[in-house]
Amino acid sequence: MDTIQEHIYEWVEPGSALFTDEHKSYSGLEKDFAVKQVNHSKGEYVSGIVHTNGIENYWSLLKRSLKGTQIHVSPTHLDRYVTERTFAYNHRDAGGLGRMRAAVAGANGRRLTWGRLTA
């Protein structure tokens, strides 16, 4: 079974700063990462530059998209929905034209066929 820590070790470079809440899943990461926490159970949501507001905002927007914008979400293609929302979130300050330009630039030289999409 996958754990949060397995994914952190797979995707995050050792020594990186991790801003988390007090959830026990993050216990023990201090040996390889610069872990800074906020304690939500004590009403703490920001401590200096440490907060989890960005990721909580992202998850909220993703869930809203999956529940409201998408008509049907296939588990087979969930990674594609997440990738699309991640792109939109990361380019949220670029405006519609800026996002379109970034998408076209990122698609240059790539081809996604219907067969590959539905495989």
Domain shared by 40 and 64, yes or no: no
Q: Is residue 62 packed enough to be buried (19+ CB in 10 Å), middle (13-18) or exposed (0-12)?
A: middle
Domain shared by 64 and 46, yes or no: no
Please give the tally of structural domains in the chain.
Answer: 2
Residue 106 pLDDT exceeds 90: no
Q: How confident is the model at residue 1 (pLDDT cuts 50, 70, 90)?
A: very low
Domain shared by 33 and 64, yes or no: no
Q: How confident is the model at residue 2 (pLDDT cuts 50, 70, 90)?
A: low
Q: What is the dihedral of CA 81, 76, 109, 95, to 10 degrees?
A: 0
Query: What average pLDDT is seen over the chain?
Result: 90
Average pLDDT over residues 95-118: 89
Q: Say if 100 falls within a structural domain.
A: yes
**At a CB cut-off of 8 Å and minimum separation 6, what does 62 contact?**
81, 82, 85
Q: Say if 1 falls within a structural domain.
A: no
Q: What is the pLDDT of residue 111?
A: 87
Domain shared by 36 and 22, yes or no: yes
